[in-house]
Amino acid sequence: MGNKGFLFIFNQAAGKKKKADINALVLDRASKAGLNKDDIFLVYSTSKASSQFLIDRFSEKYQDGVVVACGGDGTVHSIGNLMIDTALTFAILPLGTGNDLYTGLYGNRSVKDQIDHIFKGKTSETDAIYIPELDLYTMNILSVGADANVVFQANDFKEKHKFLQKYAYMASIPKALQAGTAFDIRLTARKEGAELMLMDGPYILAALCNGVMYGGGFKINPDGQVNDGLLELVYVKTMPMNKIWTALYKFFAGNHEDLAELDNVLCDEVIYASKDGSPMVLNCDGEIYQLPIFTCHVKKHAYKRII
């Protein structure tokens, strides 16, 4: 691969021992791949601004280098936003408790195998979802409704229960459902400028998908393609509480297509609007925002990633 550089950026929450273990594995696999260790950088980042500084310095020497987000979905979301429209290649090394984008892209590929793929360097152009009101890209899935409220509650759960983070999403479902299961949202979806017919609300959830799964393994878009220039709007009309638990199980298994309350459409633009003008809780790859209205566009081939 010549004089190609690799920048591994760790979330500071990864911990010294985990980083040391990964450092040793990365350098071992690099040696076996015949790479120069002087072209490999393993660093901590404390913020998005810190990551931007590291990437800028790295790209001055390695214009077509590889930047690796080492962490969970939050780290991937943060660093991935910095990779849009650059000549750099993006890669993921799953170290956090939430790895939905990674699992949707690579299945059960191990950390060691992923490192080997990173060093082999095969790439693919990949889409993203752009929200102009936030000047933000979603790499995987965004959503409004009960599922977004679950993420909101799960983030609070993670803060209070540091050692139970992998159970945060499932543990937060009951509390989120108690807060409401009917959301008065006005959805407008378009494809190539033409408005699409949608079911009327209220809805229990409305998820816009580039990727396959979210929320710790809910396969909401099992046949999703991340490089076709299209998004999948998956939305579900509100339903009685006794049906919700069955629906959740179906979503987790990825066999929810037979739900009468569900519809999905392929599109390239969606507008979400709160009917009463109040802010909606918006989940973007596990990060929470609140807006009364926002627009989503597909950005085809927004970045290049390791496959």
Report residue 16's pLDDT band, with 50, 70 and 90 as the boundaries.
Answer: low
- Count of C-beta atoms within a 10 Å radius of residue 298: 20
Residue 39 lies in a domain: yes
pLDDT at 223 over 80: yes
- 76-91: average pLDDT: 96
On whether both 290 and 154 belong to a single domain, the answer is yes
End of a domain among 96, 121, 146?
121
Residue 131, domain member (yes or no): no
Same domain, 103 and 155: no
Give me the mean pLDDT over the 81-89 stretch: 97
Does residue 126 fall inside a structural domain? no
State the chain's mean pLDDT as an integer: 91
152 and 296 both lie in a single domain = yes
Distance of alpha carbon 295 from alpha carbon 272, whole angstroms: 6
Is the domain of 34 the same as that of 86? yes
pLDDT at 259: 86
Strands (E), the chain: 6-11, 40-45, 66-71, 89-94, 123-131, 136-138, 141-145, 185-191, 194-195, 203-209, 231-237, 262-267, 269-274, 280-284, 287-291, 293-306
Q: Give the orientation angle of helix 73-81 with respect to helix 48-61, to 10 degrees.
A: 50
pLDDT above 50 (res 27): yes
With 80 as the cut, is the pLDDT of residue 244 above it? yes
Mean pLDDT of 89-109: 92
Higher per-residue pLDDT: 61 or 165: 61
Q: Select from 88, 121, 154 the last residue of a domain.
A: 121
Same domain, yes or no, for 140 and 245?
yes
pLDDT number for residue 2: 44
| Contact of 282 with 294, CB cutoff 8 Å | yes
Q: What is the pLDDT of residues 251-297, one digit of tens each?
A: 877 778 888 899 999 999 999 999 999 999 999 998 999 999 999 99
Find out whether 285 and 76 touch, Cβ atoms under 8 Å: yes
Q: Residue 29 sits in which domain range?
A: 6-121
Instruction: Report cis status (omega within 30 of 0) of the bond before 279.
Output: no
Domain membership of residue 130 (yes or no) is no
The residue type found at 147 is D
**Residue 286 counted as domain residue:** yes
Number of domains in the chain: 2
DSSP result, 36-59: -GGGEEEEEESSHHHHHHHHHHHH
Domain co-membership, 59 together with 160: no
What's the pLDDT score for residue 1?
Answer: 42
Burial class (CB in 10 A: 0-12, 13-18, 19+), 107: exposed
Q: Is the pLDDT of residue 119 over 90?
A: yes
The pLDDT value given to residue 89: 98
27-36, 176-185, 191-200, 264-273: which range is least confident on average? 176-185
pLDDT higher than 90, residue 301: yes
Q: What is the pLDDT of residues 128-173, one digit of tens each?
A: 999 999 999 999 999 999 888 888 887 777 777 767 777 777 777 8
Tell me how far apart the alpha carbons of residues 224 and 185 are, in angstroms, rounded to a whole number. Answer: 24
Asked if residue 54 belongs to a domain, the reply is yes
My answer on whether 284 and 179 are in the same domain is: yes
For the chain, what percent of residues have pLDDT higher than 70?
Answer: 97
CB 72 within 8 A of CB 97: yes
Q: Is position 184 within any domain?
A: yes
DSSP H helical ranges for 235-295: 241-253
